A and B are shown apart, each in its own frame.
Chain A
Amino acid sequence: MRVLLVDDEIDYVSTLAERLSFRGIEAQWASCGQDAMKYLETNQYDLAVLDVKMPKIGGIELKKEIEKKYPYMKFIYLTGHGSEDDYQKGVADSVYYLIKPVNIEELVKIMKKTMEENPN
């Protein structure tokens, strides 16, 4: 599984990427939507884990942008916000919606579930 992590908190997303690699998941991190789109141009990813609240372009809008070019990709939302409104957006999108701080084993479980539930 190749994963793209997008979160504006670099200390968070870089550490998460390293911990996922210890668990056999190849993870690339990006700190903004712009960088994420650049990585997508040159690399293939199965799944994107997106922070919902980011400057300029948030996770929900970024998902729409990614889907236009890469419709096969799967998504998970991560947020520190936890508002009911954002949760409903996740439900409407049929996307798992996790609230930080996240237990990494739980995150890995949800990643595998997402891939199994929506096979390419």
Chain B
Amino acid sequence: MNRQIESIGNSGLHYFGSMSASIAHEIKNALAITNENAGLMEDLSLMVIKSGQPLDPERIARLSRKVMDQIKRADNIVKKMSLFAHSVDEPVKEISLNEILELTLDLGRRSALSYGVTLAPVECERALSIQTNPFLLMNLLWLVIKSACTRVNSNKKIEVLVSKEDKRVNLCIINLLPCQQGEEKKREIITLANFLDAEVDMNNKERIVIALNENKA
């Protein structure tokens, strides 16, 4: 029991740290672009003072729009960061599976890109909700998706298909190649899945399936 809790704790901390670093990196990029565009506006203004040549107002308008775009980008990132931070508020909660899945993929997109992999947006016919630990579910989803990134097929695009079967919700990660999963990572995933009363099938050659109970008390 202690080993299980230690494994889940370590996994959670690692996930939280990894996503926090990724978020920080994204915000830094938005700040860097804002810095350069604001700096360019300053450079152009100084050139006008020096040379007396008129400033192109359309150019300034374009640069201003770029600054506003990056502010919007950073704001979106911070909103997601806040949702992520609040995922630890309650140990069990009824949540929208669609939203949790989308948030997990959004947070992980840049990490996936470092593997040369894109994560397709979630397509789900209907809204699905489950009762579970939101943060640990995101952790499990990310562990599985990250594992999938190391075995994606030539498509280089991971898709998650969502379906419902009685009281179970299945998440099917497709476009994979057959690959032997490392034992340590497999144990980490299974430990987390067991805690969440979920099942993860990693034995299929071209897909990984996560089966979730609709109601985890």
Contact = CB atoms under 8 A, between A and B. Distances in A.
- The reply to whether chain A is a binding partner of chain B is yes
Interface of A: 9, 11-12, 15-16, 18-19, 22, 53, 55-56, 58, 80-83, 99-102, 104
B116 A9 contact: no
Contacts of B36: 11-12, 15-16, 19, 101, 104
The SS class assigned to the B binding surface is helix
Interface stretch (B24-32, B186-194, B195-203): B24-32
Nearest to A53: B25
A100 B28 contact: yes
A83 B24 CA distance: 11
Contacts of A101: 28, 31-32, 34-36
A83 B25 CA distance: 10
A25 to B, nearest CB: 13
B9 interface: no
B78 to A, nearest CB: 15
B152 to A, nearest CB: 13
Contacts of B113: 55
Interface in B5-53: 21, 24-26, 28-29, 31-37, 39-40, 43, 47
B180 interface: no
A33 B62 CA distance: 28
Contacts of B37: 11, 15
B135 to A, nearest CB: 23
Given A11-B37, A53-B114, A55-B114, A80 B32 contact: yes
A29 to B, nearest CB: 12
The 9 closest A-B pairs by CB, nearest first: A80-B28, A101-B35, A100-B32, A55-B113, A15-B36, A101-B32, A12-B33, A56-B116, A11-B33
A82 B39 CA distance: 22
B33 to A, nearest CB: 5
B68 to A, nearest CB: 12
Contact of A81 (B21, B33, B47, B116): B21
B216 interface: no
Contacts of A100: 28-29, 31-32, 35
A26 B47 CA distance: 18
Interface string B99-115: 00000000000000110
